[in-house]
Each structure stands twice: as structure tokens, then as C-alpha cells.
Structure 1
Amino acid sequence: MIRNTRIAAGCSLLLFLALLLGAARVQVLKAPEYDANPANRRQALERYAQPRGDIYAAGRRLTGSTDTRQGLRYERSYPDGRRYAAVTGFASQLYGSTLLEDTEDGILAGTDPRLAPLPLWGDLTRGRRPGGQVHTTVVPAVQKAAFRGLRGRKGAVVALEPATGRVLALVSSPGYDPALLSGNSPATTLAWDRFLADPAQPLLNRAIRQTYPPGSTFKVITAVAALESGVVTDVDAPTRTPNPYRLIGSTTLLRNESSGCADAPLREAFAQSCNTVFAKLGATVGTARIVATAEAFGFNEGLEIPSPVLPSHVSTRMDPAQVALSAIGQYDTRATPLQMARVAATVAAGGRTMRPYLVERLADADGETVARTRPEAGEPVMSPGTAALLRQLMIDAVSDGTGGLAAIDGVTVGGKTGTAQHGVDNSERPYAWFVSWAQRPGTAVPEVAVAVVVEDAEADRADISGGGSAAPIARGVMRAALR
């Protein structure tokens, strides 16, 4: 009798262990396979069964959640969606997620291990914690000024804090309302199709996912290369540049939009944006030095802020004529507005480039910090002496040159205009650029650096310029940042 009892108990134990192994196989080993099965709606139901965590700017919620009381219960909402779309992106039940909604999805959805009270707690329980919080570096007043400055025109604005790399504003225009893509109704599909068909490309983030020929704003980099290489040792000495200037190995003659550029010294050439002087400097400095200087500023480099940024590009193989054109921001040189804001910020910060970042900290649902971004400095791009010279050249460009519309009373403002030709035989409407920084009296470092690009400037083609179209926008953004 006892023997039979022991056998029965042993069999029961084996069966129990078999059940445990079977359950473990299904819940642990096979879980990823079942989760990925398109027929399994449990993940979607679970994902939208609770409110999503929120994205913040200076304590202000940029996102929310709406209870639909449907199967996929909670939809994303955006109280001021159009203004912040280039920051938040969208979280859609049909079309996935983009930008911060995508890169910080684990925190916002409550699945990130950093939200768990104990290591591996989420893997063991397979439970979902309340969504956490993403606190950005964006300053609402600066974002508002950038958004209003563009007024719906195609273009972008980026503002950075030079000392840290914090992104103070990130605007792409024309924008869109991310809330229109949140749900799964026919209206959501119609909105998606309408955005895709719109020739203005409202879903394109022009601030970080579009590159443009930077035009004369690239002359900041050319000036650094010329000074650091010793090609220019005196910014007030004549450069022996003819007007027009014939590109080496070519019959092409390069001319200037402004007068007084023949044999102009670097100081005057920078203020008046003389193409001939900077083209000659580029050919003299050479490809290797121009490329090395541009790469020190961040060109040809992948970057995440944490949203991926399209790399800005300068060709590494150019003949003298091509490097001359690259030196004035043409040929195949391309830059994002974020990259050009980084160039201005590097000059403002004394020659050291700071890695831009958009997320200040991540927190759990109660606001307790689980991760924080620390400023990250790169190697010095130029000597402090060169940085001081470049700051003065940029100040002169605003006080006595092409950037006068960026001036702010009682504030030191440095800037550089740019008008970038593009299209076959430069047939398209030029892009208007302006990069700048601003510093209040008594402060050690400028508080803000800005880059503005306007694709469809409101002027006749011949009158489009960074100084006329983009500089006033930068001025408004800098004033908002200084307040």
C-alpha cells in the first residue's frame, strides 16, 4: 500500500513538473514567437489598455491619452500638436510611432526595465507598469517664437544652448497635428493618405531629417579652416582675390552679390559674404583641411538626440574647383538645420562643440528620475583665439554687414547669412539661411545659438537672402531665449 502511494506520488510529481516545464516553455521560451505572431492581438490590446506616459517641456505636458472605451482603449492626444510635432512625433495605433514617441517608447509604454522595482521583475511577471515620463530640454517660449516666425512656410528652426548642447527649440514647417494619426478609424487612414500626398511633405522633419546646401553659412567653417591652417594670419590683410574669380581648372567665373569684394580682407569678406574670397580660400586650404574642419564640427557623422539625425555631408574627394564651391556651401555640401545650429553654438562656446540632446531626463509615473542626460563635450574644433576672431567676424556681419535684421538692442549678436542655390542650373528658388548666437551683457557665454532655413522665402527670386528672410526669425527666437 505504501509502495503504491509512493509510486502515485512520484507520478503526480512528474506530471506536475511536466506541466511547469510546459508552462515555462510557452510563457518564456516561446513568448517572443507568440508575441510576434500577426494573429495575436493580445499585445495590442494590452498596449492600449492603459494611458501612455507623457512627454513634457518645462513641466508642461505635450501629450495625453484619450479613453475611447473601444477595444484599443486609449488613443494618444496632443494638446498643442502642430507646434511640437517635430519634437514628439506621433504614436499611432495603425502606423506605429516616430521621433520621441518611438525612441522613448519603452518608458512611455511602461515596458522599460528601468521602471521595474527589481531587476527582471517585468520578465518574471510579464506585467506592464504605468507609463513613465520623458522630460525634454525644449523651452516653450522659444519653441513658440520659432513656430510663429516660420508662419507655415516651408523650413525649419533649431535653437541650442551653446554651453551644454541642450535643444531649446526644434520646429519643422509646415507641420501637422499628430492627433489625427492616433486612432484606427477611417478618418485616421484618410489623414495619413492626405499627409503622404501633400507636396509640402508635412510629415518630413526638416530640422533633423532634411539636408540643404548651406550656402554662405558654411563660410564660418571655411574661415576656421583658413585661420587654423595659417592660410590667413591677419583678418585685415588683403586676400589678393580678383573679382570675378575663375575656378581653378575651369572656365567658370564666380561673382559676388555685393560690391567691394575685390582683394577684400577676411573681415570685410565675411561681413559682405564675398563668394570670390571664400572660394579662393577653400582652393588654397585644400580638400583635406576643409573636410577635417567640417568633420570636427559634426559633418559626415551619425547623431542621435535621441531621435536619429540625418548626417550632414561634405565630400571627401574634390578637385580645386569643387572644393572652392564647397567652401561657399555649394557643390554637394549638405547640412541639416541642427548641424548649422551646432556650428554657431561651437563658435559661441569658444571653439568646443557640445553634443546636442533633446531629453533632459526620464522618470517613472511618479516623476522619480530613472535616467538623466549629461552634457557631452567633443574635442576642441579651434583654438580659443580663432574662436574669438570668429565671434568678432559674426558680430561685424550683424552690426555692419548682411545680418543687420538680427540685431537686438543691448545684446551682443553674431550671425552669418546664407543664400543657397539649388536645382538644375540653380533654377529653383534659393534657400534662405541664417545662423547666429546672442549674449547678454555680463554673461560669460552666449545663451542661445540658432539656425534658420526658409525654403519658400516671401520675396522675388532675385531678392531672397538669409539676411532678409531668415534673420528676422532668428532674432525673434533669440529674444525669446534671452527672456
Structure 2
Amino acid sequence: MARVRARGNGPQGLPGISVTGRRAGTFCLLLVAALCVQATRVQVFQAQDLDRNSANQRLTVERYAQPRGDILVGPDPVTGSEPTGGRYAYKRGYTDGPTYAAVTGFASQAYGTTQLEGTEDELLTGTDGRLAGWSVWDAVSRRQNPGGDVHTTLNRAAQQAAMRGLGDQKGAVAAIEPATGRILALASTPSYDPGSFAGYGADDQEAWNRLQADADQPMLNRALRQTYPPGSTFKVVTAAAALAAGVVTDPAAPTGAPFPYVLPGTTTPLVNDTPACDRADLSLAAAMTASCNSVLGYLGVRTGLDRMAEMAGNLGFNDARLDVPVRAARSNFDTRMDESQLALSSIGQFDTAATPLTMAMVAAGVANDGTVMRPQLVDRLTRSDGTTVQLMKPAVYRRAMTPAVAGQVRGLMTGVVENGTGGNARIAGAVVGGKTGTAQHGVGNSGTPYAWFIAWAAPAGSDAVPPVAVAVVVEDSGATDVTGGALAAPIARSVMRAVLGG
């Protein structure tokens, strides 16, 4: 009998698969593989970018699902969290927001974060890995940790004195503890209330738009992010460089500076602001006390560009990565210029520009025997229960000059306060050293001059490092006497007195 093979059976008797079926199966497998590849690409390789995408609201919802950690001045928080009853459960609140805005910055549901609210955002929101516990369940469930706290280095009395002193004027104050680099005050005016746009509503948007349109730029951090020609306050840098280079060996001896002093390569004399400077061969001490442009311009040229630039760099100039931890703007001292430009730069003009923070570093370095400490705004980071996450330790920024040179410059600055243009900074029971500055700016020097004062102060009879150094700039006050001695020195005095406890 002939055998009949069942149609459609495979070699082992299983139902056969047609060519079309095999192709469809292969296509489905390819689709599954493609989906796996795409899922891996999205969930692994693109996860970070998607998390940061402005259209991704999940992270914002999580960020404001619980109270944010606080920023503290001393033992007291200057921030808080307010329940909203909306999609974002909490929004940021501020205690006396305008006083501390230059330090805290803002945390807004609509507009992001700045200043310490930005640099310490992960800790404040609880997403910093250092806040995580050891619980396996916490890791599996991805439970959000409570936000940690940021303890600042601010001295509350000094900060309040700075804001009161500035008042309605445009300007800024930076105060530093010379021995440690701790920032004691950081003020900028006009200021703003960061809580006015912390939410996501129409009122928040209106407040934001109003601040953005304000010609006085209240949201500009003038203490950290604005540079100004430092004027005669820069003569402290020039004096230190001349002494360090041996161009001047005795501050009380004649310098050999001619009068008039004609800018090298030109027929233009470098003029002074007072007749007390209009004679030849003044000493460095006399020139600093009377703030003589001709003498300090001459000494800057004699010291030379390289040594002037080196001293400026040691005191904080030309550093584009000065973080406190908020990044400060780069203060400038040109490293390529001719001798006439160097003479002008040596008296804080031409292209020389500085933030108040950098000029406070200048005063602090002189006060601290020539060692400049790295400025720091944060003392420590803690968990919500108060345990320490990170303790900030003082760190040396640069050794700018020898203790001997620093002592000579301190003597020069003391003379300015006791016998010269800085008399408004005197404090009873304290030794104060300072330097005034009135900086021209604008086309043809047509702008209202900036009034500067930098200083340090110590209790009389103390051999310790002075506990405070300060820089003040008043940008536009409307006053008739627009000088550093008249406008900025009294503000510096009030800040230093607050630190000294007077």
C-alpha cells in the first residue's frame, strides 16, 4: 500500500510554518527588540536629560511635595516653607527677604533657583545622596529624604548694619573675617523680596515681570556679580606691590616721584584731587594719606606690570572661578598694557574693575599678615535632625605678601583713617585702617563717581588678627559730596562696629 504523507506536517510531525508566518514572526521579534532598545535608550541614556527637561513637571512636583530645608543665619532660619493646597504642595517663604536676598537668592516654582538656593538645591530639596539613610526599603521605595539645612557664616548684626547703611542708595557691602575667610555680611541694594514670586500664580508672574523691568536692577547681586572701577582703594594693592618689590623700602622716605608726573609716552600729566599732592618727592605714607594719584601712578610703573599683576592676582583679581560657593564675577587687572595704562591702572582706573567681594579680600589679606583666605559663605550643611553632612574648613587662597609688608601696609591704612581722607571710619576703642576711593566712569568720566571704602578694624591693644575687613561701594546716592570718605566710610564703620560688638 502506498504511503501518504500528511500535508503541512514537518519532519517530526509538527504543524508546519509557512514562509509568510515565519516572516511575520521575525518581524514581531524585530519590533520587540527595537522597543527594548528604545526603552533602554530612553530610561538609561536619556534619563538625565529628560529629568532636566523644562517640560517635565514630575521633578518640580516632587521638589515641592514637602517642606524645603532652611537657610540659617546663626541659629535662626531666614527661610521657610508655606503650604499652598495646590499641585505644588509647598512654596518657599522668606523671613525679611530683602535683607538676605543677596545671600539666599530665590527658589521659585516658576523661575528656578539662584544664589545659595541654587548651589545647595539638592541638599535643600532632600535629593542629595548624602542625606540618604541605610534602609533598604527607603532605597527600593525611593522615599524622599527631608531637606537638609544650610548654615551660613553671616553675622546678623553686620548684615543688618550693612543694609541700614546702604538704605535707598544703589550699592553693596562685603565683609570678611580675615583669619578664616568667613563672609560676615553680603548686602546689595536696591533689594527685592524673593517670596513675592515663589509660587506659580498670576501674582507671582506679575511680581517677576515688575522686577525684571525695573531699571534699578534690584535682582542684580552687586556684592558678588557687579564690577566697578575701584579708584583709589586699589592704591592699597599698588603700595603692597611696591613694598614687596623693594621699589619702596621705607614708607616714610621720599619716593622720588616727580611733580607733575606725565603719563609715559604722552604729554598728559596725572592730576591729583588735592593741592597736598602737588609737590615732588612725597613719601608713600604721605601719598596714601592724601591719596595722591601722581605718586601711586609713578610707583605702579616703577614696580612694573608683571609684579603689579602678580600682586593683584594674589589678592583675588583675574580669577574667573571664585566660588563662595556662589560664583563671583571676575575682577580685572589687565596683564597686557603700556606704561601710561599701567599708571592709570595703578590708581584703580583704565580697565581695572573689581567686585566688592574682591576689594574686601584685599583688606582682609592685609589684615591677616599677607595671607588671603578663601572667602566662604557656608559654615556647614546639616540634615533635618541637625547632624552634620559637611563642615566647611578655612582654606588659604593665596599668600599675597610677607607679614612685614602687610604690617607696613596696615600702617599706611591706619594713617588714612587717623590723619587723612578716612576719618569717618574711626571707632572709639578700636584701631581702624582704611582707604577711600572715588572712581570716575562713563564716557569722558561723565557718570556720577562711585564712592568706595575698604577697611579693617580691631579692638585697641589687641595683637590678634583683626576680626573684620569690609568693602563698601555706593553707586548712586544723589548726594552732593560724592566721595568714599563721605558716603562709604560711615557704612563701613557701622558694619565693623557691629562685628566688634559696639
Contact 1:152–1:175 (CA under 8 A) maintained in structure 2:
no
Instruction: Name the counterpart of 2:237.
Output: 221
Instruction: Name the counterpart of 2:381.
Output: 362
Instruction: Name the counterpart of 1:10.
Output: none
Instruction: Name the counterpart of 1:480.
Output: 498
Instruction: Name the counterpart of 2:479.
Output: 459
* Rounded Cα–Cα distance in structure 2 between residues aligned with 1:95 and 1:123: 30
Instruction: Name the counterpart of 1:373.
Output: 392
* 47, 53, 57: which one aligns with 2:73: 57
Contact 1:218–1:329 (CA under 8 A) maintained in structure 2:
yes
Q: What displacement does 1:74 show?
A: 0.6
User: Within 5 Å, which residues of 2 pair with 1:148-159?
Assistant: 148-159=164-175
Q: What displacement does 1:444 show?
A: 1.0
Question: Aligned pair in 2 of structure 1 residues 123, 257: CA closer, same or farther (>3 Å)?
Answer: farther
Which one is further off, 261-270 or 237-246? Answer: 237-246
Q: What displacement does 1:30 show?
A: 6.0
* 261, 271, 282: which one aligns with 2:300: 282
Q: Partner amino acid for 1:459? A: A
Q: What displacement does 1:459 show?
A: 2.4
Largest Rg, 1 or 2: 2
- Structure 2 residue 450 is matched with structure 1 residue 450: no
* Rounded Cα–Cα distance in structure 1 between residues aligned with 2:103 and 2:150: 11
User: Within 5 Å, which residues of 2 pair with 1:95-134?
Assistant: 95-118=111-134, 124-134=140-150
Contact 1:433–1:466 (CA under 8 A) maintained in structure 2:
yes
* Rounded Cα–Cα distance in structure 1 between residues aligned with 2:385 and 2:242: 53
* Rounded Cα–Cα distance in structure 2 between residues aligned with 1:249 and 1:33: 57
SS of structure 1 residue aligned to 2:476: coil
Count of residues paired in the alignment: 462
* Rounded Cα–Cα distance in structure 2 between residues aligned with 1:295 and 1:272: 26
* Rounded Cα–Cα distance in structure 1 between residues aligned with 2:341 and 2:135: 56
Gaps of 5+ in 2: 1-32
Contact 1:243–1:255 (CA under 8 A) maintained in structure 2:
no
CA deviation profile, 1:225-272 (whole Å, cap 9, x unmatched) = 111111111211222323332101012221111222222100000111
Q: Partner amino acid for 1:94? A: A
Q: What displacement does 1:125 show?
A: 3.9
Contact 1:432–1:457 (CA under 8 A) maintained in structure 2:
no
Question: Aligned pair in 2 of structure 1 residues 111, 273: CA closer, same or farther (>3 Å)?
Answer: same
User: Within 5 Å, which residues of 2 pair with 1:187-198?
Assistant: 187-198=203-214
Q: Partner amino acid for 1:248? A: P
SS of structure 2 residue aligned to 1:240: coil
Instruction: Name the counterpart of 2:222.
Output: 206
* Rounded Cα–Cα distance in structure 1 between residues aligned with 2:211 and 2:436: 32
* Rounded Cα–Cα distance in structure 2 between residues aligned with 1:318 and 1:29: 49
Question: Aligned pair in 2 of structure 1 residues 478, 120: CA closer, same or farther (>3 Å)?
Answer: farther
CA deviation profile, 1:60-113 (whole Å, cap 9, x unmatched) = 111001101001121100011000000000000111000000000010000000
SS of structure 1 residue aligned to 2:351: coil
Q: What displacement does 1:27 show?
A: 6.5
* Rounded Cα–Cα distance in structure 2 between residues aligned with 1:28 and 1:121: 22
* Rounded Cα–Cα distance in structure 2 between residues aligned with 1:121 and 1:344: 53
Instruction: Name the counterpart of 1:5.
Output: none
Contact 1:82–1:175 (CA under 8 A) maintained in structure 2:
yes
Gaps of 5+ in 1: 1-17
- Structure 2 residue 411 is matched with structure 1 residue 392: yes
TM-score normalized with structure 2 length: 0.89
* Rounded Cα–Cα distance in structure 1 between residues aligned with 2:361 and 2:167: 24
Which one is further off, 420-429 or 26-35? Answer: 26-35
User: Within 5 Å, which residues of 2 pair with 1:214-293?
Assistant: 214-261=230-277, 262=279, 263-293=281-311
Q: What displacement does 1:380 show?
A: 1.8
SS of structure 2 residue aligned to 1:134: strand
Question: Aligned pair in 2 of structure 1 residues 37, 168: CA closer, same or farther (>3 Å)?
Answer: closer
Q: What displacement does 1:29 show?
A: 6.0
Contact 2:315–2:398 (CA under 8 A) maintained in structure 1:
no
Question: Aligned pair in 2 of structure 1 residues 120, 342: CA closer, same or farther (>3 Å)?
Answer: farther
Q: What displacement does 1:439 show?
A: 0.4
Instruction: Name the counterpart of 1:326.
Output: 345
Q: Percent identity?
A: 55
* 438, 442, 451: which one aligns with 2:457: 438
Instruction: Name the counterpart of 1:74.
Output: 90
Question: Aligned pair in 2 of structure 1 residues 418, 120: CA closer, same or farther (>3 Å)?
Answer: farther
Question: Aligned pair in 2 of structure 1 residues 200, 233: CA closer, same or farther (>3 Å)?
Answer: same
Contact 1:113–1:122 (CA under 8 A) maintained in structure 2:
no
Q: What displacement does 1:126 show?
A: 3.0
Contact 2:373–2:398 (CA under 8 A) maintained in structure 1:
no
User: Within 5 Å, which residues of 2 pair with 1:137-156?
Assistant: 137-156=153-172
- Structure 2 residue 389 is matched with structure 1 residue 403: no
Which one is further off, 239-248 or 412-421? Answer: 239-248
Instruction: Name the counterpart of 2:177.
Output: 161
Q: Partner amino acid for 2:314? A: A
SS of structure 2 residue aligned to 1:455: strand
CA deviation profile, 1:303-329 (whole Å, cap 9, x unmatched) = 100001111110000100000000000
